[in-house]
Chains A and B, each alone.
Chain A
Amino acid sequence: NAGVTQTPKFRILKIGQSMTLQCTQDMNHNYMYWYRQDPGMGLKLIYYSVGAGITDKGEVPNGYNVSRSTTEDFPLRLELAAPSQTSVYFCASIIAGGKFGDEQFFGPGTRLTVL
């Protein structure tokens, strides 16, 4: 299993540009999440999904959109990029009831800079 994969690893956008951050998991997990992490801060939930076709807002959804057409993929769309969206973005999926409890698997992150 590759786990949770994210592309691209790095991206620089100009103000007003749009892009899609890709996230794929091969573990057949129903729950998937998008977070952003600013320097020295914890993770803020942007959007999450409990299954294909079902998404909901987290703490900081403004400026972002998501879709979930398959179990495996959960892309995050940025429309009209702004400097405030400069951050590291993490995608995660969850398996319930592991040896140490519900376990959230994270991808390696996408580092986005908006200039």
Chain B
Amino acid sequence: EDQVTQSPEALRLQEGESSSLNCSYTVSGLRGLFWYRQDPGKGPEFLFTLYSAGEEKEKERLKATLTKKESFLHITAPKPEDSATYLCAVQADSGTYKYIFGTGTRLKVLA
């Protein structure tokens, strides 16, 4: 069964304190792994898609990496405005177009 597990559930960082969020997955064949940011009371906002092991993508203070079993979202020198829930999802290559989401990591960055 396809499954996505995110850790930690919650993370508190001081402004400027870099860290990483983990997304481990089990899927029969991976078509893509997706990262989203969700602010309270709003819909998720797309960040990245990764398609193959070794791939990396970067946007401002965020960098996403992918291995055959997990993905990391690295946050460098975070700011309070980076506080949000970060969601990971996978899509299998079975042609069903379904997305399986993890439960997210709640990030709080303190000034």
- Chain A positions near chain B (C-beta within 8 angstroms): 4, 31, 33, 35, 40-45, 48, 50, 56, 58-59, 90, 92, 100-109
Specify the chain A residue showing the minimal Cβ separation from B49.
A101
Q: Would B99 and A104 count as touching, CB distance under 8 A?
A: yes
Q: Would B98 and A107 count as touching, CB distance under 8 A?
A: no
Q: Would B87 and A42 count as touching, CB distance under 8 A?
A: yes
Q: How far is the CB of A101 from chain B (nearest CB, A)?
A: 2
Given contacts A41-B103, A106-B45, A109-B42, contact A100 B57 (CB under 8 A): yes
Q: Would A42 and B99 count as touching, CB distance under 8 A?
A: no
Number of residues from B at the complex interface, CB < 8 A: 30
A-B contact pairs, 28 of them (CB 8 A): A42-B4, A42-B6, A42-B101, A42-B102, A42-B103, A43-B44, A43-B87, A43-B101, A44-B101, A45-B98, A48-B97, A50-B97, A56-B96, A58-B98, A59-B98, A59-B100, A90-B44, A100-B57, A100-B59, A101-B34, A102-B91, A103-B49, A104-B34, A104-B99, A105-B46, A106-B44, A106-B45, A109-B43
Q: Would B98 and A90 count as touching, CB distance under 8 A?
A: no
Does B78 have its Cβ within 8 Å of any Cβ on chain A? no
- Chain B positions near chain A (C-beta within 8 angstroms): 4, 6, 32, 34, 36, 41-51, 57, 59, 87, 89, 91, 96-104
* From B4, B51, B87, B98, residue with most partner A Cβ within 10 Å: B98
Interface contacts (Cβ under 8 Å), in number, total 68
By a CB distance below 8 angstroms, the chain B residues around A33 are 99
* From B41, B44, B50, B98, residue with most partner A Cβ within 10 Å: B44
A56 to B97 alpha-carbon distance, docked (Å): 10
By a CB distance below 8 angstroms, the chain A residues around B32 are 101-102
Q: How far is the CB of B111 from chain A (nearest CB, A)?
A: 25
A103 to B48 alpha-carbon distance, docked (Å): 8
Specify the chain B residue showing the minimal Cβ separation from A44.
B101
